[in-house]
Structure 1
Amino acid sequence: MTPREIIEGDYPGVQALHRSVGWPERSLAGWRWLHSNPARLDIGAPAGWIVDGPDGEPAAHVGTLIQRFRLGERRLHGATGFNIIVSAAARGSSRGMLKTFTCQPGVFARYTFNANSKSQPLYVRHGMQAWPEQTHALKLSWVIDPLPLAISRLWRRLYQAAPGLIGPRERLMNDRLGRIARPTLPEGVTILTDFGDRSLYAAFWEALASEGRLLADRSPEVQRWRLQDPDLSQPPLVLAFERDGAVAAYAMAMMAKSNILEAPVLEILDLEALDGHADAVPVLMQALMNAGRAMGAAKLRLQTVSPRMLPRLGEFADSARREGGWGHCHVHFSQDAPDPALWSPTPYDGDYAMCLRPVPLEVRRQGVRAPLRTSGAASKA
């Protein structure tokens, strides 16, 4: 079974494939939005690959999200894989799909920062290494409201013991979800909405890029594209820490709910501060905790952690719950790739913004029933 590049006409079949394993479905507009990724268009890379089943419909899928990177004045590209799904009709094709992904040209690295415990051994067999060495298995979270987390654990145990007793109703929703949040923000922190090319944020990005680290492109152009995702149920929360009239640090987070039995979580998508302003990181973390409470989250979570970030978190690193425990971060570097020590990834570098399940606000508004989202026969890349 030979993988072929995905085309726009495949998207209804890819939707059906996601539906068959209980994964969140992108709308057709959402797939077209992903297809319009400006970084992908830079190098003419595929948006992913599929394997056709006997009926001619997609039976296996792997997406690839191309990201621009900056290293001083150098422009590079990286590729993160997402949503590997292999149905029974395409059993055995995962090897060819991963080989195709890890051998794609034009990128300095092929990686995933979102592998699940079952799929992560596949990456090692395909030449990908667990990386960063110290933190590839680490996720951090901070409890905001313990009660819904405890109820969620009970629901999951009941589902494992007797899945037939669990109906399709979305659970653990609350009245704060989807409302305009007015969190109490620490001094110096504001909600960031201006991503214009001459905005304070644009000046922050140029200052960040000039530090000489390898950074995923956070330019106003790319941020505007990300915020246009038509499948978001509410826009991400973006916070800025200002000092002396300039943005010195910023954070981006979105509300997500991984399945009907899980509590809502405020997921940190990005957290960056300029050199000399690391003290802004704990301030932004406190702002995110306050915002999570106002937005109805049961916890705050950071799913990709670099060794550089840990000391910057300050006391929040000490108070965090350690999640994960398996190598969810794997990378295959090209021979001519920059020194990996220059790269300190956050969830922004991975697929989280595209693959997290937004809180289904239409369920609360309309009383719609939703299926239980399970991993099924799929692997998360």
Structure 2
Amino acid sequence: MPLTLRPFQPDDEPVVGALHRGVDWPVRSADGWRWLLANPARPGDFPVGWLAEDAEGGAAFVGQFPQTFHANGERLLGVTGYSIIVPPALRGAAPILIRRVLDRPDAALHYTLNANALSAPLYRRHGFHPWPAETHGLKLSWIIDPLVCATASLVRRVAPDRSGRAGPERLMNARVCRPQDLRLPPDIAPMMDFGADWNDFWVRLRESGAVLADRGAEAMRWRTADPDRLTPPVMLAYRRDGVITGWLLAQTAKMSRHEPPVLDIIDLIATPGEPDAIQALVGTLIDNGRRLGVAKIRLQVVSPSLLAALGPVGARARREGGWGHAHARFGAERDAQLRRGWTPTPFDGDYSFCLRPVPRP
């Protein structure tokens, strides 16, 4: 059956919302779609998603998210797809939607950092390769509450995913919705705004020569203002001699109604030559896990350099994943530069705005 492709419009929110509810994914509000449209990295002619429609009114959807990448003084456009939803009646629409997202000649790289086990093979057919090459299938997690995690594992076996689409939220606790009350060491403090000290940190990151997603003040203020996030993010800065040399952004999520709250690390980065920031930031997050009411902490995108920087803290983590969730396709003229310089964190992908939020009490 022929399909018609067209850009997502705000009036399509009910259709796209129904698609998300059908697979028990978080449904973005009208304010949330306006927030995505306000992305400072979005070119004026860049839709936030595409709909494939058949003659009988059926629809499939893919989102597309642009980011500005900085590379040795240059600005590059990167594009990741997100939330590919294809109902059974529109089987075969996924490759069509992916090709439409790839049809952006001004993009230096296309990628996904959040493919599931079923969709991962699709990307290889479209010229993507696993990235980072050594760790594309690796996710890390630190267990905070073993009993709750064991209960969730039992529920998954007894009542698999289909039971998670209706009914009450299970395995909740009051701590996860309370204001943050963190116990922090002297060299780590909450990041309250993105002012002059943040700008200095961002300049030093860019001077490293790495290929980095934009973390300028405007981009960070926008990214941390998602109206569909129901709990505030954890934002921590590591300082050496009063100067920011490391940064961590994390937010709570709940994968389904029958899963406990977890804390996802969205961004984790330090300036070159800083030996302690990564381990200190993650260690502090682990130490505060129970105060935050989460059953485990996750890091869903790991590069070899980040794994090395985690050191003994990383050695304590459980290894998860395994199906190759991260894939990239580089433009021919940028291939060598991106292979050499791009080591993504979850910040580069769709995790910050596609995680299922912890519900309000």
Q: How does 1:162-311 map to 2 (within 5 A)?
A: 168-196=167-195, 199-311=196-308
The DSSP-based 3-state class of the residue aligned with 2:99 is: helix
1:47 alignment partner in structure 2: 48
C-alpha contact (below 8 Å) 1:2/1:96 kept by paired residues: no
Distance 1:288 1:110, change over 3 A: same
Identity of aligned residues (%): 46
Per-residue CA deviation, residues 91-131 of structure 1 (Å, 9 max, x unaligned), is 21111111112232211111100000111011111111111
The alignment's TM-score, normalised by the length of structure 1, stands at 0.90
d(CA) in 2 for partners of 1:307, 1:12? 41
2:27 alignment partner in structure 1: 25
1:70 alignment partner in structure 2: 70
What is the CA-CA distance between 1:167 and the residue it aligns to? 6.1
The DSSP-based 3-state class of the residue aligned with 1:240 is: strand
The DSSP-based 3-state class of the residue aligned with 1:336 is: helix
Which amino acid letter does the alignment assign opposite residue 177 of structure 1?
V
The alignment's TM-score, normalised by the length of structure 2, stands at 0.95
What is the CA-CA distance between 1:163 and the residue it aligns to? 5.7
Aligned-CA RMSD value: 1.7
The DSSP-based 3-state class of the residue aligned with 2:287 is: helix
Which amino acid letter does the alignment assign opposite residue 13 of structure 1?
V
d(CA) in 2 for partners of 1:252, 1:16? 30
C-alpha contact (below 8 Å) 1:181/1:291 kept by paired residues: no
What is the CA-CA distance between 1:204 and the residue it aligns to? 0.6
C-alpha contact (below 8 Å) 2:165/2:257 kept by paired residues: no
Distance 1:298 1:40, change over 3 A: same
d(CA) in 2 for partners of 1:23, 1:352? 13
- Name structure 1 gaps, 5 residues minimum: 365-381
Instruction: Report the count of equivalent residues.
Output: 357
d(CA) in 2 for partners of 1:329, 1:191? 30
Distance 1:222 1:163, change over 3 A: closer
The DSSP-based 3-state class of the residue aligned with 1:293 is: coil
C-alpha contact (below 8 Å) 1:139/1:324 kept by paired residues: yes
d(CA) in 1 for partners of 2:341, 2:253? 30
The DSSP-based 3-state class of the residue aligned with 1:170 is: coil
Moved more, 180-189 or 216-225: 180-189
d(CA) in 1 for partners of 2:164, 2:259? 17
Match of residue 328, structure 1, among 321, 325, 329: 325
C-alpha contact (below 8 Å) 2:164/2:258 kept by paired residues: no
C-alpha contact (below 8 Å) 1:159/1:166 kept by paired residues: no
Per-residue CA deviation, residues 239-278 of structure 1 (Å, 9 max, x unaligned), is 0011112101010000001101111111000000001113
